[in-house]
């Protein structure tokens, strides 16, 4: 499984759905649809998204890791 980091490519807002999609091996679009559908249910989905946006590290640039 891939590491849980927010990718630099394929993100729309914060990259949380793209990171979760990579982690679970599904498409980013499918993860976004699942997230939007879950927002119709009661619960703290939006707060969880914000928390993951803050807590998940961003993917480093490849030029930085080459040094």
The residues spanned by each domain of the chain are 1-59
CA distances to 29, 51, 54, 61 from 32, in Å: 5, 17, 18, 24
| pTM metric for this prediction | 0.77
pLDDT digits 0-9 by tens, 14-62: 899 999 999 999 999 999 999 999 999 998 998 999 999 999 888 875 4
Work out the number of other CB atoms within 10 angstroms of the CB of residue 17.
Answer: 24
Buried b (16+ CB within 10 A) or exposed e, 45-54: eeeebeebee
């Amino acid at each position: 499984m891939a590491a849980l980091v927010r990718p630099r490519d394929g993100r729309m807002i914060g990259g949380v759905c793209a990171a979760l999609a990579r982690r679970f091996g599904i498409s980013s679009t499918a993860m976004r649809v699942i997230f939007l559908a879950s927002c119709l249910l009661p619960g703290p989905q939006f707060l969880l998204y914000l928390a993951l946006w803050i807590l998940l590290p961003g993917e480093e640039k490849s030029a930085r890791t080459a040094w």
